[in-house]
């Protein structure tokens, strides 16, 4: 209660409009002091003009709807007190871009947020349908909202897909472009991290690693296996070894 009121007062003091006052009253562990400060900076820079309700509560992050001058935003907030931060270390340590990150909890979460920003930027630059990253501060990532009327596009597991074979090949194409052009492996590819509306979109790239990561090829195999496991229920899939062979062998 008190925590909620304190949060609302602080947000209001930032001069940002709260669209859905009840929905935005979230768990105390999301809006700690660090997060409020980061949010404040993003609001102050006018990168966020409206904060809406929660879209998702995941293992490590909460996603909120937001707007900047009428344009939809996804505001992804990594919780500092996340349960999973040990697992994050492995993805960071092997990636040369982030191997020097200090081992404090906060430091890791901030690096993770920056890593997701960079990964989305690389994917986006490679022309892969994925949210355009807009800004980050500490543990908050701002990105393009993929959805309509404040409702996110469904995860592919909940979407109505007409031609699974076509969508499967599109996603394989994304994985290939991610590998060849962005030089990344997604490393958590599944029916949960693909949104679908007319075409598939890849999301959730915090854990994606560069190809020089010692486990990049392990992650790649796991991604392809996941993809094939899911799509084999609906359409013919390409043999896993064949996919890897074409990717890695060229
Ligand atoms: P987590 O690490 O919690 O799995 P995700 O990045 O997968 O976080 O996001 C969780 C959910 O939030 C997604 O399934 C989707 O519903 C929503 N979401 C995330 N990013 C966006 C976005 N850019 N646009 C719309 N919805 C999003
Ligand atoms: Mn996810």
* Residue 240's CATH number: 1.10.510.10
Could you give the percent of the chain with pLDDT greater than 90?
72
Residue among 64, 66, 203, 207 to mutate when testing ligand 1 (max atoms within 8 A of CB): 203
Mean per-residue pLDDT over the chain, rounded: 90
Residue 86's pLDDT band, with cuts at 50, 70 and 90, is confident
- Pair (132, 174) in one structural domain: no
By three-state DSSP, how is residue 130 classified? coil
Which residue's structure tokens are 């409020």? 36
CB 35 within 8 A of CB 77: yes
Rg of the chain, C-alpha, whole Å: 19
The listed range with the strongest mean pLDDT (4-18, 76-90, 97-111, 202-216) is 202-216
Task: Write down the pLDDT at residue 31.
Answer: 75
> What is the Cα–Cα distance from 21 to 45, expressed in whole angstroms?
22
- Pair (169, 237) in one structural domain: yes
- Pair (166, 177) in one structural domain: yes
Task: Write down the pLDDT at residue 14.
Answer: 72
Work out whether the CA dihedral 238, 245, 96, 128 comes out positive or negative. Answer: negative
Task: Write down the pLDDT at residue 84.
Answer: 76
Of 130, 151, 172, which one is at a domain's C-terminal end? 151
Q: Check pLDDT > 80 for residue 21.
A: no
Say which CATH number the domain at 141 has. Answer: 3.30.200.20
Catalytic pick among 95, 137, 188, 223: 188
Residue among 113, 144, 152 to mutate when testing ligand 1 (max atoms within 8 A of CB): 152
CB 154 within 8 A of CB 229: no
Task: Write down the pLDDT at residue 15.
Answer: 67
- Pair (26, 120) in one structural domain: yes
- Pair (137, 231) in one structural domain: no
The residue among 83, 103, 115 whose CA lies nearest residue 207 is 115
> What is the Cα–Cα distance from 225 to 241, expressed in whole angstroms?
10
- Tens of pLDDT, residues 139-156: 999 999 999 999 999 999
- Pair (109, 173) in one structural domain: no
Cα of 232 to ligand 1 centre, how many Å?
A: 24
- Pair (116, 162) in one structural domain: no
- Pair (160, 143) in one structural domain: no
Q: How many domains does the chain have?
A: 2
Q: Check pLDDT > 90 for residue 48.
A: yes
- Pair (117, 179) in one structural domain: no
- Pair (140, 161) in one structural domain: no
Helix residue ranges, H only, the chain: 2-13, 33-44, 85-93, 105-125, 164-180, 216-231, 240-248
Would you tell me the crossing angle of helices 33-44 and 2-13 to the nearest 10 degrees? 20
Cα of 242 to ligand 1 centre, how many Å?
A: 31
Cα of 180 to ligand 1 centre, how many Å?
A: 25
The residue among 169, 206, 188, 215 whose CA lies nearest residue 63 is 206
What end-to-end distance do the CA atoms of the chain give, in Å? 58
Catalytic-residue membership of 188: yes
Task: Write down the pLDDT at residue 99.
Answer: 84
Tell me which residues have their CB closer than 6 angstroms to ligand 1. Answer: 55-56, 58, 60-61, 63, 74, 76, 131, 143-147, 152, 155, 193, 203-204
**Ligand 1 atom with minimal separation from the 57 CA:** 3
**Ligand 1 atom with minimal separation from the 59 CA:** 3
Show Cβ contacts of residue 215 under 8 Å, excluding neighbours closer than 6 positions.
Answer: 90, 94, 209
Q: What are the phi and psi torsion angles at 73 (to 5°)?
A: -130, 145
Task: Write down the pLDDT at residue 4.
Answer: 64
- Pair (123, 235) in one structural domain: no
> What is the Cα–Cα distance from 223 to 41, expressed in whole angstroms?
36
Show Cβ contacts of residue 121 under 8 Å, excluding neighbours closer than 6 positions.
Answer: 133
Of 151, 184, 215, which one is at a domain's C-terminal end? 151
Neighbours of 2 (CB within 10 A): 7
Catalytic pick among 2, 204, 236, 239: 204
Cα of 15 to ligand 2 centre, how many Å?
A: 31
Task: Write down the pLDDT at residue 20.
Answer: 60
Residue 29's pLDDT band, with cuts at 50, 70 and 90, is low
Cα of 47 to ligand 1 centre, how many Å?
A: 19
- Pair (127, 160) in one structural domain: no
Q: Which of 75-84, 131-140, 198-207 comes out lowest in average pLDDT? A: 75-84
Catalytic-residue membership of 223: no
Of 151, 183, 214, which one is at a domain's C-terminal end? 151
> What is the Cα–Cα distance from 219 to 208, expressed in whole angstroms?
9
**Range of 242's domain?**
154-248
């Amino acid at each position: 209660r008190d925590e909620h009121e304190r949060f609302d007062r602080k947000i209001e003091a930032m001069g940002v409009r709260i669209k859905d006052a009840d929905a935005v009253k979230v768990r105390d562990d999301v809006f700690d002091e660090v997060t409020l400060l980061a949010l404040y900076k993003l609001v102050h820079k006018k990168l966020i003009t409206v904060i809406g309700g929660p879209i998702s509560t995941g293992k490590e992050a909460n996603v909120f709807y937001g707007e900047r001058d009428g344009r939809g935003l996804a505001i992804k907030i990594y919780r500092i007190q996340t349960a999973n931060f040990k697992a994050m270390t492995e993805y960071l340590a092997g990636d040369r871009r982030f191997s020097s990150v200090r081992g404090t909890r906060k430091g890791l979460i901030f690096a993770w947020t920056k890593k997701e920003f960079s990964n989305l930027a690389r994917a986006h630059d490679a022309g892969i349908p994925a949210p355009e990253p807009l800004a980050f501060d500490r543990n908050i990532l701002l990105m393009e909202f993929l959805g309509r009327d404040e409702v996110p596009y469904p995860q592919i597991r909940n979407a109505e897909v007409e031609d699974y074979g076509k969508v499967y090949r599109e996603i394989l194409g994304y994985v290939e472009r991610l590998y060849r052009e962005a030089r990344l492996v997604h490393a958590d590819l599944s029916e949960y991290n693909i949104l679908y509306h007319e075409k598939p979109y890849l999301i959730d790239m915090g854990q994606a690693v560069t190809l020089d990561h010692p486990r990049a090829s392990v992650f790649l195999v796991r991604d392809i296996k996941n993809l094939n496991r899911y799509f084999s229920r609906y359409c013919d899939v390409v043999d896993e070894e064949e996919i890897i062979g074409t990717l890695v062998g060229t």
